Amino acid sequence: MRLSIACLAPLFLACPAHAEEAVDLELVLAVDISGSVDDEESKQQRDGYVAALSDPSVIEAIASNELGRIAVTYVEWSGPDQQEQVLGWTILDGAEAAQGLASRLAALPRARGMWTSIGVAVDFCRLLFDGNGLSAPRHVIDISGDGSNNRGPSAESARDRAIAAGIVINGVPIMNDRPQPWAMPTPNEMRLDRYYTENVIGGPGAFIVPAETFQDFRTAILAKLVREISREDRPASPPGRAVGQGLPVIAPAPNVRSLASR
């Protein structure tokens, strides 16, 4: 009996008490619900994610990875005091799981806030990777919005903190030219796609997919999800070239130094 226990002991010691679940990608979907997003635009944004998450091209992108599984969580954000993880980390390993997540998202009530605090949103999303029980070679924050940072810490400082933590930030700037009651102009009247490229996204291979209007959001988010979910060794689209027929142009990020390099 003593010998049996001694032989079994190494087996127990070799098994960690709380093993992390391995996935190819941990992805945070961070969605703007600020006051500049009206009810119809909020619906178009939500419907875009619901449709994209269960789209066959997204399922194929997931399957193209080594493990064929990713983890996704959904965050809504606006001002400095309003960030909420409305859907927790969910494993997507095929059409059934993806459709299940899309259905859960579609059933959620839509919230609305004030102000646009991109910096706080990125900081909030960065912390969601800590202690989530997952392990992946890639960590991505996918942020969409229709305005520049107008409250809280700067988007640039939050971006740098995320890069220092090994996180990539991609974006969908929504080029909404409708008058916005609480919006502030982007710096120097900069186009929002340029603002996102220079101030929000960052990390190796970071990119944006602009949506010219909220009506274009569904197409833009699908293009972005397919690219960021696909394997890293997939050839990147060069500037000015569409990802696929009918899909928007993808713009690469400039080189952004992390805090460690400053």
pLDDT at 169 over 50: yes
pLDDT at 239 over 90: no
pTM for the full predicted model: 0.80
Confidence of residue 258 (pLDDT cuts 50, 70, 90): very low
The per-residue pLDDT for 122 is 98
pLDDT digit string, tens, across residues 3-34: 444 444 444 333 343 578 999 999 999 999 88
Amino acid symbol at 108: L
pLDDT digit string, tens, across residues 139-163: 999 999 888 898 889 999 999 999 9
> Which of these, 109, 111, 123, lies nearest to 151 by C-alpha position?
123
Facing residues of 21 across strands? 134
Measure the CA–CA gap between 24 and 229, rounded to whole angstroms.
9
More confidently predicted of 166 and 17? 166
The per-residue pLDDT for 216 is 82
More confidently predicted of 45 and 41? 45
Token reading at 30? 């961070």
59 contacts: CB under 8 Å, gap ≥ 6: 94, 95, 98
Q: The sheet that has 251-252: what strands, in order across it?
A: 83-92, 70-77, 26-32, 139-145, 168-173, 207-208, 251-252
The SS3 call for residue 73 is strand
The SS3 call for residue 79 is coil
Confidence of residue 164 (pLDDT cuts 50, 70, 90): very high
Average pLDDT, the chain: 80
Measure the CA–CA gap between 80 and 145, rounded to whole angstroms.
15
The pair phi, psi for residue 58, each rounded to 5°, is: -70, -40
- Other Cβ atoms within 10 Å of 260 Cβ, number: 8
In order, the DSSP letters of 146-180 are SS---SSS-HHHHHHHHHHTT-EEEEEEB---S--
pLDDT digit string, tens, across residues 188-216: 445 889 999 999 999 999 999 998 877 78
Beta strands 168-173 and 139-145 are parallel
Measure the CA–CA gap between 38 and 55, rounded to whole angstroms.
26
- Please give the share of the chain, as a percent, with pLDDT higher than 70: 73
> 166 in the Ramachandran plot: left (φ > 0), alpha (ψ -120 to 50) or beta?
left
DSSP state, residue 250: P
Token reading at 48? 């875009």
The per-residue pLDDT for 246 is 38
Confidence of residue 78 (pLDDT cuts 50, 70, 90): confident
Confidence of residue 83 (pLDDT cuts 50, 70, 90): very high
Among 97-106, 124-133, 246-255, the range scoring the smallest mean pLDDT is: 246-255
| Chain centroid to CA 140 | 6
Span 19-261: which CATH code?
3.40.50.410
Q: Where are the beta strands (DSSP E) in the chain?
A: 21-22, 26-32, 70-77, 83-92, 134-135, 139-145, 168-173, 207-208, 251-252
